[in-house]
Structure 1
């Protein structure tokens, strides 16, 4: 098998060289593009604060596939298995509810020490960590409002939670030597007709200003803010709309998060990247698959995933765009979901790096749109899969669907015993 892959790779390099693509340079660049996996796929967004509590905030994890992680030790073991089957650089994205403590800790009192095991694990695996305050699934979010709440005590609680989260995030960056991107998303909104749309947004803006008022070292911590169209239970009014957070990120020069499922069904975030980059210093992309709006299905190698990767590569945004995944499917093996989604995100990046970009740009600049379309279509048939398989072998992971055998074995030996 290895010999066949080597032969195919040699032929693929020649094919790509014929259209001006340096395959080895593309692979070297791919090794500089980490994808941040999301911890919440492994336990259906339960966390360890109150793992039996109800999931709220317009979020749903559907399915009851056996083997869900119920402790941090189990979750890290599952992540270890997934990471061993995915080539190239990775990161891990944590939510605040994945803290570890022998006694209950209120969210506005979380500290770096509550995530020390995660840092040790990240060091062992040579991973960077990213972070999120968890502004949902809590008694003080039950009425649908957190940072925009009209109740000053409620609002202050969530401000303090986000402030504490920033310190946790900065500690990650300081200890691991790579900045942690901390994303703020709030579920705030109303189910039915809303009279006062201005007041909650004004309060949200003021709260966010208070949260980010303390300047943190950008080598350790990056602030990001995320919009949403609507959520279950907030169908009529979302405080943190696209317009709100685009304006906020632009005026405060924070990073802006674009989630593939947070817009109208006919909108795609790939088209928003070039516009947003004119106004904000950085982007965080939540790559997902919104089958029916924000349903967060496992990422596949579809047109939008490829278009997102193309925008990053074509516009040389490697140092300005952070790539994260955001899906949670409880209807299939959760480790397989991680592996499928992350491998597909990396495949899309590789395919983008293997585009004959010089030829495409030349045709476009010369107004030869016929040639541009022909080249775009013909390059889809170039042997990128042979390059991918070699990349996998170089990273000591299965080159084809053989990784599912490892997952099945782990399921029989570990997951089935839970």
Structure 2
């Protein structure tokens, strides 16, 4: 009997079919963010990264062009098991033959190369308007700006992104999640909290006035508690975003690095699922007040996955990664984070949720604690190795990445 068979027998004692868990995970799509590969620089502007976010580090080998970025994405995805989507930001528009279009003039044709790339790999595409790193971000304000020219510029950008999102969905045959996040806020205590939010609301209303197929495009809205340079006031707070989403029938997106350090998204998922047909997640890792660290196989990542699986909501949650680390090999950062999301999902699929729920409902909290502790030392690793083997992906990815670094990245 091999190690997986032994592990499967152990899980069977808890009422869990290990192979069924693997087969379920094979069909769970995780959307991989493109911006880890070039430190969120994009192709459309020479502006440095700004607008409440920041990358740190200068590890060699950063992608500088479409061809370099897509080669790195291919290498990362070859080392990641399971079903994947590609998550793009609008700043990754590709211009050729000297053409340029500003963000309020973007068209589907500026993303044709991305569509070809995705279709050749049988992937869908998710999308994000880019409301940062641009000269039209004035005083850290975009959709909430009191300058009508600034606000209208970004409203038009949002409208163009809705059109592009539908283009992605129609071309790939996979629904596109279009996520709106703005950096707007103030470093110090504002004199007027109401008006920026009123302007943000009006801007969102204008963007959503663009006709689109709601079966093909899921527009989401992402909140944040604070950002660099806007520590005292964030226009797109959690309360604003939740109320707007529910009033206007779009999809909430929660990024687990965008809340107070004592808050956890895992605790919010069940509440959100009760009131929304779909929810979306950006899975990252917050460290103190900073988000966007490479996802680990840590307690909160496991709890997020547990809540999704326990609620039987794998078909109701859009799962994407969102982090950027320029201090380590960028491809390793992609592979490590994506694999850890899948590890957490497999761990959740190997958890006897029905048994644990019955213990909770019966009031046997002693047994509940004991069983939860038992589960932590079950041979999860052997089931994970079987999943990797089924997906024809090696457990060791570091040696392959080091080889790619030597052969490709070091020559950039």
Asked if TM exceeds 0.5, the reply is yes
Q: How many residues align?
A: 410
Which residue pairs with 2:301 in the alignment?
305
TM superposition shift of 1:396: 1.0
- Could you tell me how far 1:31 is from its partner in structure 2? 1.7
Query: 1:358 and 1:281 mapped to 2: Cα distance?
Result: 23
Q: Corresponding residue for 1:273? A: 269
2: distance between equivalents of 1:196 and 1:335?
43
SS of the aligned residue for 2:145 comes to coil
**Residues 170 and 180 in structure 1, CA contact (< 8 A), matched pair in contact too:** yes
Say if 2:325 is the partner of 1:296: no
On the 8 A contact 1:178/1:219 being kept in 2, the answer is no
Distance in 1 (CA, whole Å) between partners of 2:42 and 2:288 is 25
Aligned residue in 2 for 1:89:
83
Q: Is the 8 A contact 2:162 2:210 kept in 1?
A: no
1:192 to partner: Cα distance: 1.1
Deviations 1:72-97 (A, max 9, x none): 11000000000000111111110000
Shift of residue 373, structure 1, vs aligned partner: 1.1
Instruction: Give the match for residue 250 of structure 1.
Output: 246
Deviations 1:89-123 (A, max 9, x none): 11111000001012221101111111111111111
Question: For residue 402 of structure 2, what is the aligned residue in structure 1?
Answer: 408
8 Å CA contact 1:171, 1:220 repeated in 2: no
Question: What's the secondary structure of 2:136's corresponding residue?
Answer: helix
Could you tell me which of 72, 97, 106 is aligned with 2:66?
Answer: 72
Per the alignment, residue 347 of structure 1 pairs with 343
* Equivalent-residue separation in structure 1 for 2:132 and 2:276 (angstroms): 27
Name stretches of at least 5 consecutive residues in structure 2 with no aligned partner: none
- Counterpart CA distance in 2 for 1:278 and 1:147 is 30
Q: Deviations over 1:110-162 (max 9, x none)?
A: 11111111111111111111000000111110311111111112111111101
Question: Is contact 2:47-2:135 (8 Å) kept?
Answer: no
Could you say what the CA RMSD is over the residues aligned between the two structures, in angstroms?
1.1
The residue that corresponds to 1:156 in the other structure is 152
Shift in Å at residue 279 of structure 1? Answer: 2.4
Aligned match of 1:13: 8
Aligned partners of 2:238, 2:401: CA distance in 1, in Å? 39
The answer to whether the 8 A contact 2:138-2:150 is kept is: no
- 2:41 alignment counterpart: 46
Are 1:172 and 1:220, in contact at CA under 8 Å, matched by a contact in 2? no
Superposed CA offset, 1:22-70 (max 9, x none): 11221121122111111000000000012x4211111111000000000
Give the Å deviation of 1:274. Answer: 1.3
Which region of structure 1 is more displaced relative to structure 2, 75-84 or 119-128? 119-128
Structure 2 Cα separation of the partners of residues 359 and 236 of structure 1: 45
> Is the CA contact 1:61–1:329 (under 8 Å) kept in the aligned structure 2?
yes
Question: Displaced runs of 4+ in structure 1, greater than 3 A?
Answer: none
Are 2:47 and 1:29 aligned?
Answer: no
Q: What's the TM-score, normalizing by structure 1?
A: 0.96
TM-score by length of 2: 0.98
CA distance in 2 between partners of 1:329 and 1:313 (Å): 29
1:103-122 equivalence runs, <5 A: 103-122=99-118
SS at match of 1:351: helix
Answer whether contact 1:35 1:90 (CA < 8 A) is retained. yes
- Residue 280 of structure 1 and its aligned partner are, at CA, apart by 2.6
Contact 2:138 2:145 in 1 (8 A): no
Whether 1:100 aligns to 2:100 is no
8 Å CA contact retained: 1:249, 1:280 = no
**2:135 is aligned with 1:139:** yes
**Which residue number in structure 2 is paired with residue 186 of structure 1?**
182
Cα distance in structure 2, aligned partners of 1:64 and 1:156: 35
Residue in 2 that maps onto 1:3: none
Task: Report the CA distance between 1:393 and its aligned residue.
Answer: 1.0
For residues 215 and 92 of structure 1, the distance between their equivalents in structure 2, rounded to whole angstroms, comes to 24
Whether contact under 8 Å (1:253, 1:281) holds in the other structure is no
Q: Structure 1 regions of 5+ residues with no counterpart?
A: 1-5
How far does residue 350 in structure 1 lie from its aligned partner after superposition?
A: 0.1
Task: State the shift of 1:195 in Å.
Answer: 0.9
